[in-house]
Chain A
Amino acid sequence: MKLLTFVHFLPVPAATLSELHDIGVTAGSTPILRGVDLVVRPGEVLGLFGANGAGKTTLLRVVATLLRPSAGVATVLGVDVTSPQRFDIRHRIGMIGHIPGLYPELTLGENLDFAASVAGVAPGGVEQALEAVGLLGAINRRAGASSHGMQRRAEFARELMLERDLLLLDEPHSALDQDAVELVNGLVGKIAAGGGAAILVSHDRGRVDAVADRSLELVAGSLR
């Protein structure tokens, strides 16, 4: 699988890629996160663990600038996550959640075609990306008719196509066979080597510890 073709390097490494100070998130009247402090530096691969309902996905969405914290200050790629400028940096953040974000009616190729068009990637990138993840033969298969593992691979193909400085992965190894697991680890490693960073949320300590530089645990809404 050809990864090197796709990984792009940050022109000038920043001191930190993301800084969260005393972050709190509530859903209605239910606190999910409280007093979270987190710094993500260039070149880091961070593992994030925690029990069910601990708020791991919520934390990822804050870092992705998709969820506005109710307390604290968060900056990602130098931008306050509550400021209007957050829309301008979102294309530099990749996220693959545990629920696929593909459109089931569209084929895997069409899903990536949509991503390429929106992100301004050259049209040829779709086939290259799918080939890199071993899905070129399934380019015309509908996402809804593809297995969970295939959809995850397709989402990794999407991330391969795009220039990301920060990669956020929720359960990155789930539903993947060994080849695909190595693909994920390779991608994460290359992004970090290029000056980016990755955060991996997982229950699979063994696999994440193999690639992560450090690991943190969410307990009672805070990081340890």
Chain B
Amino acid sequence: MQSDIPSRRWPWFAIGIAVAASVTVAMLSPADAVQGELVRIMYVHVPAAWLAYLAFGVTLIASIGYLLSRNLAWDRIAASSAEIGVYFTGLAIVLGMIWAKPTWGVWWTWDARLTLTAIMFFVYVGYLALRRTTDDRRARANRAAVLGVVGAVQIPLVHFSVVWWRTLHQPASILRPDGPAIQDPIMRVALLIAVIAFTVVYVSLMVKVAELHRVNDAAQAAEAGEHHPVAGASVTAPGLDPGVGNV
């Protein structure tokens, strides 16, 4: 069905340019003295993690915006941002694990930030699961907005609890969970460019995903429009044929 909502093309161009820029700086920046070529994962992992926090922050603001205004546009923003956030959190965690195995010898460590990130991932997986299981549009928006606020309010408390816990349980090894300190200015600039590029990717994806939600909502509204028969129209008077069955 043709949508009346214009499909913007510029986000695809922006994503293309941003990805190209990010890959370019990742490949052109020097290898690390200790990690070698493995450091290049940092140019995706760090921006992905930054993007995740940004996305969930936007979900919080949009959830509050919906609860105050009951405008479904805010709900679409919250949902879009949460979806993007979950994917990039997952990406950040997986890339981190790929980086960690050759570097630390383990796939996972109970660093405060990693643990918090993993917990946040599941908070918003739950948010998306809640949206999937709620059929009514308005109820979905109401419930997701409440969870969006509750989840975000709890995140700082989760953060403190995990940081305090890790403070008590620092490992005796020389593992450096915070990752290498970046000395090289070229690497710092490259990382900054990568972060900016990913932010552009986020904004572009937000435009497209929110557009998709808008199209879905409009399609649903159109299906329920004037030309669509009401539910009761599908029920007709039964007409039992005397020759049918034992009647």
Contacts and interface: CB of A to CB of B under 8 A. Distances in A.
Chains A and B share a contact (CB less than 8 Å):
yes
Given A28-B135, A28-B137, A53 B234 contact: yes
A68 interface: yes
Given A29-B220, A29-B223, A50 B231 contact: no
Interface string A1-41: 00000000000000000000000001111111110000000
A218 B232 contact: yes
Rank and list the top 7 A-B pairs by shortest CB-CB distance, nearest first: A221-B230, A29-B223, A54-B232, A26-B224, A29-B220, A53-B235, A53-B232
B228 interface: yes
Interface of B: 135-138, 219-221, 223-226, 228-235, 237
A130 B226 CA distance: 48
B138 A31 contact: no
Contact of B229 (A51, A70, A219, A220): A220
How large, as a class, is the contact surface on chain A?
A: 20 to 34
A32 B138 contact: no
B163 to A, nearest CB: 40
A55 interface: yes
Contact of B230 (A28, A68, A220): A220
Contacts of B234: 53
B220 A32 contact: no
A178 interface: no
Contacts of A52: 232, 235
A135 B201 CA distance: 68
Nearest to B222: A29
B232 A28 contact: no
Nearest to B237: A51
A32 B235 contact: no
A31 B222 CA distance: 10
B223 A33 contact: no
A31 to B, nearest CB: 5
A34 B230 contact: yes
Contacts of A219: 232
Contact of B232 (A68, A70, A220): A220
Contact of A33 (B219, B225, B230): B230
A28 B136 CA distance: 6
A24 B108 CA distance: 54
Contacts of A50: 232
Contacts of A29: 219-221, 223-224, 228
B231 A30 contact: yes
Contacts of A54: 232, 235
B131 to A, nearest CB: 14
A51 B235 CA distance: 8
Interface string A159-193: 00000000000000000000000000000000000
Contact of B231 (A31, A68, A70): A31
19 contacts: A27-B136, A27-B231, A28-B135, A30-B224, A30-B228, A31-B230, A32-B231, A33-B230, A34-B230, A52-B235, A53-B232, A53-B235, A55-B232, A68-B138, A218-B232, A219-B232, A220-B230, A221-B232, A221-B233
